[in-house]
Chain A
Amino acid sequence: MATAEKAYYVGTDMNCGGACLLKVHVKDGVITRLETDDGDEPQLRNCLRCRAYRQRVYAPDRLLYPLKRVGERGEGKFKRISWDEALETVASQYKRVKETYGPAATIYLTTGGDIGQVHNTRTAVRVFCLAGGCTLMWGVASNEGWMFACQATYGYPTGNDHRDLPNSKLAILWGMNPAVIIDGCGTAYHLALAREKGTKFIVVDPRYTDTAALVADRWIPIRPGTDAAAMIAMAYVMITEDLYDKAFIKKYTVGFDKFKEYVLGKEDGVPKTPKWAEAITGVPTQDIVELAREYATTKPAALLPSKAPGRTAFGEQYHRAAFTLAAMTGNIGKIGGSAGSEITQRGEIPFAMGPAMKTGGNPVDAGSPLRRDALPTPISKGPGLVARLHNSEVWNAILEGKVGGYYSDYKMVYVANANYLNQYPNVNKAVKALKSLEFIAVQEQFMTPTAKFADIILPTCTFLERNDAVWGAGPHVAYQPKVIEPLGESRSHLAICEGLAKKLGISGYNDKTDEEWLEQIMKPCVSDFERFKETGVKKFYQPPTIPFKKEIEDIENNPFPTPSGRIEIFSQQMADMNNPLMPPIPKYIESWESRNDPLAKKYPIQLLSTHPKRRSHSQFDNIPWLRELEPQAIMLNTKDAKARGVRDGDLVRVFNERGEVTIQARVTERIIPGVADLPEGAWYQPDKNGVDHGGCANVLTVDRRSPGGAFTNNSCLVQVEKA
């Protein structure tokens, strides 16, 4: 019998930080069409990606049944099996590997795909913890360098609230592109509102981004990996022209004098003048001087450096330099100012939202010695444990194991919520590493390049097929009701993990349904749970959150949680590490694969891999409504293209020692010469010679972490030739 169409409000949880609101129409158990938030402003409007979500749910390449590999790894040949056989295989392989090689020989790989409060990475981590342990990772691909720098300087990481933007007289967007990245529902919209209210915008970026096109009054193009040099030269101008806030520095910071000595050249004989920086950054001296003066004399001003320039070798220095400039201009903790962090604030939700399930503690972590070159962070103890692998070094670890100095030999991986092969550096090494393993299980929604390497595939449903909740930058919390039954035999994360726990003989893994978990999590903030379920969202109408406001208003009673209680321009913790590549004050350290690297003779183009417009990382790459909007292409400056005889739309070979991609060229004036941009997330499609035709940037990137843990994807040299 046909039923009437019903509409549900659903918070989205793609890996973009949006958590926007879909209104999903369902008839007879089938999603018919989508709207977005039509309630009170601020409406949490979706972008193009989630507006295409119906095609994602019903995509012909959705994984609907458990599969067992029958071809070679990577070949994509599979046979349908039962859930019982799939889970039994995974459980018995884990037990075998643990008994033969120890619990650390199994690696759990995950990232931020499709993560709610109930169905998330912890559901599987808990299984492995209770079953005897596994190797877990550290190193957030997005912003580990930023977190390290926050930890060293402020004692905890935080950033600006986009609703505070209209209060700034000047905003400096450094590598920040929320028009594409989203990064908090409505951030680009708030930028437009600020501009309309009179905020002046200066954009420092190798590219003239879509965000620059929206708001920039000035664009200052800069060479990748050199941002810290420009910032340190800005400090030079502020010091030599006596433009910095001495009272602020004195009251709230420690170690400025040591930084000043470095800036003025008293430490190493090199004064960090704008001219010094011009040679490094490509930014004309006069532009650096003007930028420094304008930032120092306009109050309040928000310096908003994004994650991308920190995804370079020594990217931590860029973030530390930005924090120092924010302190020198006295903008920290002020309305309309910034702490030199980007917009990360999701508001002060009046309760602790967070993955509901406790992992139970990982025996492998518990047995691990501590690393000396890590800062203790409240986010994760991962960086401090020898047993943890950095996400950019997992392929090396698998290939080399104990012989290579790693904590264990590695024989099995369990991948969940992650197109890991595609999204971490050095895909060709990943292929070798995955081929070398004894067993691979992948929990996925689609036959991704990673899933093709699985021995067993466990099909996972989308967020429209289970109950959960998300929180976002409204600030708001949004319900994720199950609006349709899971397609085929796909199951939720929690259901898959329950099945696996049972096969592993674990008792007491879980005693609640996802709905019961939700009620427990939401109760402290949503007094009427039934009503919340109906409206689907709760928006918190509160003033914008100002990072470090409480510390600045009353530093004596609210010291920063650093060893000195102050903003640490000089960090004794880092000095104690005694590593010149992790200096205690922010310094410019030239990245590997910079334009001065001897490698640049062979590979003269600096490659960026920025966020894609029509994907959320690698999610949505397979969705026809999105694919047709723009082809995957490498952005090349007209000069570089001309020198290579390349015209817009031509196929080009992009290559270095690590791999080769053949992809379309997009020839434009919107990027600094000598730099190219291949947006990350396109699915790896190798031909028989291993040349990728999908345009996967990580075929080219370096799998080497920065000393503080930053990913270094944007420190990458390539050559481009007409195909």
Chain B
Amino acid sequence: MQIGFYFDQTRCTGCYTCVVACKDWHDVPAGPASWRRVLTIEEGKFPDVFVAWLATSCYHCAQPACVAACPAGAITKRKRDGIVLVDQAKCLGKDKCDLCLQSCPYGAPQFGAEKNAKMQMCNLCFDRLKEGKKPICVAGCPMRALDAGPIDELRAQYGDKTEAVAFTYSTDLKPSVIFKPKLRKSLVGGKR
């Protein structure tokens, strides 16, 4: 079984609620480490512009590059639900090694500002999943733009699109995520 995310890009307003809720729940201080992030995409020329956001985190890939890249065996993928977890006690620390970060096309591995910071990243709120709750970002999104659960069930509910603005699906890693992508359209109806 593989747990994954669904993201409705058409609903995201870039409000960062998921980012802050995650930092609070997991007690991540202000600083460079942010398990969940929001990217802003702005395209076009005034007045025909296009704006989208990508709320992104670790996608708990079916074939995670970070697991293979870690020389210390600190990153593992759980068999029972496919969640990718890091054992900070084994992590060599950023001053010595950042191979996981280099290997990940989605920028998922995060490091705090402290000296030789150990890697940290989204753990899909496995503590909450165990209690039958959704991850804190999903449960908190004011736009109901996020969901999480067994990826087969998400596909059955939302379809199987793997593209979104500012996201590239890696067929090697097979990130566990599906999208409702935002479509580019003209705001001026071709009259200008």
Question: Which A residues form the contact surface with B (CB < 8 A)?
Answer: 33-36, 38, 45-48, 51-52, 54-55, 179-180, 186, 188-189, 192, 208, 210-214, 216-219, 221, 284, 286, 613-614, 624-629, 637-639, 668-673
Say whether A35 contacts B20, CB under 8 Å. no
Q: A179-B13, A188-B13, A214-B11 are in contact. Are A46 and B140 (CB under 8 A)?
A: yes
Q: Does B149 sit within 8 A of A, measured CB to CB?
A: no
Number of chain B interface residues as a range: 35 or more
Q: Which residues from B are CB-within-8-Å of A613?
A: 15-16
The answer to whether residues A34 and B24 also contact, given A188-B143, A628-B31 and a CB cut-off of 8 A, is: yes
Contact A629/B143 with A34-B21, A51-B24, A218-B187 known, Cβ cut-off 8 Å: no
* Given A188-B142, A637-B46, A669-B46, also A625-B13 (CB < 8 A): no
In the bound assembly, the distance between CA atoms of A639 and B136 in angstroms comes to: 41
Pairwise interchain contact B46-A33, C-beta atoms closer than 8 A: no
Q: Check A51–B49 contact: CB distance below 8 A.
A: no
Cβ of A51 and Cβ of B13 under 8 Å apart?
A: no
Can you list 12 pairs linking A and B with CB atoms under 8 Å apart? A33-B24, A46-B140, A48-B17, A51-B20, A188-B142, A189-B142, A210-B15, A211-B13, A212-B51, A219-B49, A625-B30, A637-B46
Total contacts A to B, CB within 8 angstroms?
Answer: 117
* Closest B residue, CB atoms, query A20: B142
Instruction: Return the contact of A629 from the options B16, B44, B139 (Cβ within 8 A).
Output: B16
Asked whether, in the complex, the Cβ of B140 is within 8 Å of the Cβ of A45, the reply is: yes
Report the nearest A residue to B32, measured CB to CB. A628
A210: B residues at CB distance < 8 A: 13-15, 51
A51 and B189 form a contact (CB under 8 A): no
Whether B104 is near chain A, meaning CB under 8 Å from some CB there, is: no
- Bound-state Cα–Cα, A707 to B42, Å: 40
The answer for the CA separation of A210 and B14 in the assembled complex, in Å, is: 8
Closest 7 A-B residue pairs measured CB to CB?
A: A624-B30, A213-B51, A179-B13, A51-B20, A669-B46, A48-B20, A48-B17
Interface residue? B45 (CB, 8 A)? yes
Other CB < 8 Å A-B pairs besides A35-B140, A188-B142, A671-B46, 12 of them? A38-B139, A47-B15, A51-B17, A180-B13, A208-B51, A212-B51, A213-B52, A219-B47, A219-B188, A627-B30, A669-B42, A672-B46
Question: B139 to chain A: which residues have CB within 8 Å?
Answer: 35-36, 38
Tell me whether A47 and B17 are in contact in the complex, defined as CB-CB below 8 angstroms, given that A214-B11, A628-B31, A669-B42 are known contacts.
yes
1/0 per residue B113-134: CB within 8 Å of A?
0000000000000000000010
| Chain B residues near A52 (CB-CB < 8 A) | 20, 24
Task: Evaluate contact between A47 and B142: CB separation under 8 angstroms.
Answer: yes
Q: Is B174 part of the contact surface with A, judged by Cβ < 8 Å?
A: no
B49–A614 touching, CB < 8 Å: no
B187 & A216 in contact (Cβ 8 Å cutoff): yes
> What residues of chain B lie closer than 8 Å to A189, measured between beta carbons?
142-144
A640–B147 alpha-carbon span in the complex (Å): 41
Q: Write out the residue numbers on chain B whose beta carbons fall within 8 Å of the beta carbon of A216.
A: 187
B96 in the interface (beta carbon within 8 A): no
Closest residue of chain A to B52, judged by CB? A213
Q: Beyond A35-B140, A188-B142, A189-B142, is A48–B19 a contact (Cβ under 8 Å)? A: yes
